[in-house]
Structure 1
Amino acid sequence: MPRHYVVPSLITWLMLLVCQSGCCLLDSITAASNFSLVPNYINTSNLHQDYCERKRKLPNFVGWRLSTEKLTATLPIDNIQENYVREVQNSIFSVVYPTPLKSRVLLVAVSKEVLEDILDLDFSVSETEEFLHLVSGTKILLESLPLAHRYGGHQFGSWAGQLGDGRAHLIGVYTNRFGDRWELQLKGSGRTPYSRNGDGRAVLHSSVREFLGSEAMHFLGIPTSRAASLVVSDDDVWRDRFYNGNIKKERGAIVLRIAKSWFRVGSLEILAFSGELELLRTLLDLVISEHFPSINVNDSNRYLIFFSEVVSETAHLIALWMSVGFAHGVCNTDNFSLLSITIDYGPFGFMDSYDPDFVPNTSDDERRYKIGNQANVGMFNLNKLFQALNPLLDIRQKQLASQILEGYPEQYYKHFTELFKAKLGLLGDSEDDGYLIAFLLKLMEDTKADFTMTFRQLSEISQDQLKELSIPQEFWALQDVAKHKFFANWVAMYLLRLKRNTGDSYSERSRRMIGINPRYVLRNWMAESAVQKAERNDFSEVRLLQQVLQHPFQMQTVAERAGYAQRPPAWAKEIKVSCSS
């Protein structure tokens, strides 16, 4: 392929992809050999390991304590106790209890890892009535005061005013044997002062997706909230899922999800917008002291340093999303965590065929949150965070914060390049690496090749097979790319670049690539199949997917039998997901 043909179009295309689109995979792989599947926000230090092993998991809730005391002692609480929709002022939380489900409740799924490794509960606890009462919102532990969080946000680019936890209840904070604090939140547990016109419920369809989606992301090594349990009831919940006037009856469900913190960009925006600057300062100082231990809370530059860390980690997070073809679907500021973890799983989607214009959310008429625009949206949201911090910054700090924000695209581009180099098994640096990555992505886009399996099959195919352009039938995604008239040119460039991997071998490269290119992701058709069975109280596929997605990089017989690594079925293209849940 003549070099002059590719450089102008593809390099321009790559830069657009990075700054306007986004297509990435980074920081936890800066060196492929050091890649870790464990998100860096979970404490797995060996110093705690012996203590962890010595302390038995609790067989029941005796001695197991939840509390919101620190939050309520530090932050002001809404002085109105009644649960009705209203504008809330001068407070961070409202006290509000979950609304119990009226009909029978069935346990759909439980995360053994979350229960045992984070919440210190033996898995057998999940079989008790006490557990079912807790995760369905029927009972609250005595020492904990359930809270709904007040926040605002920019939705689809426009200021939406007060939003808040309209169907979620923070039922307590748990401090585990590692000393880590985790906030437990029920989603779908009834109305709050922030419900607006909603009923405070979530339905089975979206709840299955949230449970599986957050757990899948964790095992892919991407910072995320976790899901502890999922229950479903026979309560009727009415939804116009696609906003077309076709209202249907669905079943109510509740997810118990956990995170180190649920504070988001919108948590600060609402305070700045309302002029509650002392409260803004109080909340920021709490967030910094609790979740940014490297920042001195007495440092006059602490908000500037905080902003710099959030900018850096947000660039990292979105790059990681792109590395696995994940589109969040609703990247509003109220869905962007201050801890740069993935939260609020709604109309998300993992991309099948590579397409920078992929939009998982059918409610997104303007295609604002297409996968290729996520990096750009990250910049928009960080700018809104900057505006929220502005009242607390002096002139010099504002100038520095502006410079930090301007550096976001470069950080994202760096993450993008390093991650895709790792996906391709490249070691060291070459000036042509960006070109090589862009070239492949363009071939994939033109041939509509499968994103996940193209990289996975590049991890498994031999160099001789590539060199001879002899693509075995089982490498169906690579066969699609190979139909492109310039595939042979890319292969020649790729093999030449691999020769620069000093001291590297095929087996070592394949091992590295297999360790970062998943074979299984939660495709929409897989989630939809599980949901359809769950609607009939057959939870087998939900649990099968949960099991498979815990080991996304390992070939599994049961997953192969289910077709999870095969070409998506034709009906997958007809699946629609919206904001309604």
Structure 2
Amino acid sequence: MPQCVSNCCPVYSGRNTTQRSGFPFCCLARRLQIPQLLLLCVTCRALCSLVQPGLEGSASLVHLFRNRSNQEQGYCETEASIASSLNFWTLSSEDLIAVLPVDPVKENYVRKVRNCIFSIAFPTPFKSRVRLAAVSKEVLEDILDLDLSVSETDAFIQLVSGEKIVFGSIPLAHRYGGHQVRIASAQFLLCKNKHLVVSDDEVWRDQFYNGNIVKERGAVVLRVAKSWFRIGSLEILAHYGELDLLRLERPLKSVCNTDNFSLLSITIDYGPFGFMEAYNPDFVPNTSDDERRYKIGNQANIGMFNLNKLLQALNPLLDPGQKQLAAQILEGYPVLYYTRFTELFKAKLGLLGERKGDDDLIAFLLHLMEKTEADFTMTFRQLSEVTQSQLQELNIPQQFWALKTISKHQLFPAWVSQYLLRLKSNMNDSDSERRKRMTSKQSF
């Protein structure tokens, strides 16, 4: 049933136990860049949606320097000027809430929330002094067009902490299905598109979800994304038969459980999580995942499961022909995913073109990494730094500790032989070009 998370966010906490079908290959979570800002949200206490005027529900990518206030100040649309204060923002949520219904109940308490997309939820300011703990320079300058010095102002800290609402914006809590568990430090560690403020106010947390509730210092994470609509945004409407709202939300084009899976396929949620150092397909990032449902090696199947849930949510709006077409599209997911999965690992290994046996070469390496508990990231990093001659002679430098670990496996020489043979098929490719290619952003 819907409940309140952090005293403000109504969500659907029901669990669907429908049996899921899978396909046999392991996978890793994709790392996706968060696009330009459309919605700016304050989490932990409220979602503060800041939407520019005139959008009328459009999901177009809009950069803040294109808004009316910037144009009035002479800022052009091709060169973003860096502002030294928040005063240049002109914000409005009117178009958003005119299209997407808002809960008529204004009080903030745990209850069932029906027939709406948002609830107005004004944040509760901290009682003690608020301090800015961390800030993303990239977000300030490249997305918000603000000088880094703005983060030191009282106005900015008041905005991030929820103490002050920017004129023209309305703090909204988004109603969607699924579970929410969030830790500020975890959310911040894995994403640059955030700011973090802390306070001496204490909050109750069950950090390890074992019933041992303790007091911790409160914090607010400010995250930016162009949309916060997830698969769960549609699921809850279909679950309660709110078809009018489901039709309304459909054209917004607005996301490894369905409450975290973005409809735009962008990364917006990072916790709970854990760092996988030793490669292990059975690694579970979420300590509350007792069924190991979201383990690393099952993420491809979970993606398929989530898309099935999306199709089920949209089914009330589809005619028989559309349902058949959607099912056919979904049937292509395993092949498409596996193809992209292979491409990513070929890039990590510096392989060019397509050759028979590439899949086996990748699977062979992952098997050795699993058996030796090799560090996942550093294994590929050090493969990009070691020379082919060093591999040929099995002369792994001591500083390449991850490769030294995997080299202890008796089958490592066999994999090296296959790898070097495959590299020879990279036409007109030098060893230095291979290493440079493997260290690029596309490979990691």
Q: 2:112 aligns with which of 66, 71, 87?
A: 87
Q: Partners in 2 of 1:358 and 1:374 — Cα distance?
A: 11
Closer/same/farther in 2, CA of residues 370 and 55 from structure 1, 3 Å limit: closer
Instruction: Report what 2:199 is aligned to.
Output: 233
Name the structure 1 match of 2:95: 70
Residue 349 of structure 1: how far off its partner (Å): 2.5
Q: 1:282 aligns with which of 248, 273, 278?
A: 248
Separation in 2, partners of 1:517, 1:398: 36
For the structure 1 residues 102 and 23, does the alpha-carbon distance in structure 2 shift closer, same or farther, using more than 3 Å as the test? same
Partner of 1:212: 189
The residue that corresponds to 2:301 in the other structure is 376
How far 1:244 sits from its partner (Å)?
2.9
Letter in 2 for 1:253: A
Q: In the aligned structure 2, how far is the partner of 1:425 from the partner of 1:40? A: 27
Residues 189-204 of structure 1: pairs in structure 2 closer than 5 A: none
Trace 1:236-315 onto structure 2 (pairs within 5 A). 236-285=202-251, 287-288=252-253
Task: Name 1:19's counterpart in structure 2.
Answer: 23
Which of 1 and 2 has higher RCO (CA within 8 Å, sep 6+)? 1
Q: Secondary structure at the match of 2:88?
A: coil
- Give 3-state SS (helix, strand or coil) of 1:349's partner: coil
What secondary structure does 1:131 align onto?
helix
| Structure 2 counterpart of 1:490, from 415, 420, 434 | 415
Cα displacement string for residues 110-133 of structure 1 (whole angstroms, at most 9, x for unaligned residues): 111101111121111111111111
Q: So what's the TM-score if we normalise by structure 2?
A: 0.83
| Map of 2:377 onto structure 1 | 452
102, 113, 128: which is aligned to 2:153?
128
CA distance in 2, matches of 1:92, 1:44: 22
Contact map agreement 1:455 1:517 (CA 8 A) in 2? no
Structure 1 equivalent of residue 71 of structure 2? none
Secondary structure, counterpart of 1:130 in structure 2: helix
The equivalent position to 2:168 in structure 1, one of 133, 139, 143, is: 143
Give the AA of the match of 1:429: E
Measure the CA separation in 1 of the matches of 2:129 and 2:307.
44
CA–CA separation in structure 2 for the residues paired with 1:426 and 1:51: 43
Asked if the contact 1:443–1:484 (Cα under 8 Å) also holds between the matched residues in 2, the reply is yes
Matching residue's letter, 2:190: G
User: For the structure 1 residues 54 and 359, does the alpha-carbon distance in structure 2 shift closer, same or farther, using more than 3 Å as the test?
Assistant: closer
> Unpaired segments of 5 or more residues in structure 2?
1-21, 38-60, 67-74
Residue deviations 1:273-305 (CA, integer Å, cap 9, x gap): 1111111111112x13xx6xxxxxxxxxxxxxx
CA displacement at 1:348 relative to structure 2: 1.4
Q: Cα gap change, 1:152/1:89 in structure 2, threshold over 3 Å: closer, same or farther?
A: same
- TM-score, normalised on structure 1? 0.64
Matches within 5 A, 1:303-342: 331-342=256-267
Aligned partners of 1:20 and 1:375 also within 8 Å: no
The correspondence of residues 420-439 of structure 1 with structure 2, limited to 5 A, is 420-439=345-364
User: In the alignment, is the contact (CA less than 8 A) between 1:233 and 1:253 conserved in 2?
Assistant: yes
Sequence identity percentage: 64
Aligned to 2:331: 406
- Is the contact between residue 33 and residue 266 of structure 2 (CA under 8 Å) also seen in structure 1? no
Distance 1:355 1:395 in 2: 43
Q: What is the identity, as a one-letter code, of the residue corresponding to 1:381?
A: N
- The answer to whether the 8 Å contact 2:230/2:261 transfers is yes
Measured in 2, the distance between the counterparts of 1:233 and 1:335 equals 27
State the match for 2:81 in structure 1: 56
Per-residue deviation, 1:334? 0.8
SS of aligned partner of 1:84? coil
Checking the alignment, whether the CA contact within 8 Å between 1:211 and 1:255 is kept in structure 2 is: yes
- Residues in 1 aligned to 2:352 and 2:142: alpha-carbon distance in whole angstroms: 35
1:100 to 91, 104, 125: 125
Aligned to 1:15: none
Q: Is the 8 A contact 2:283 2:296 kept in 1?
A: yes
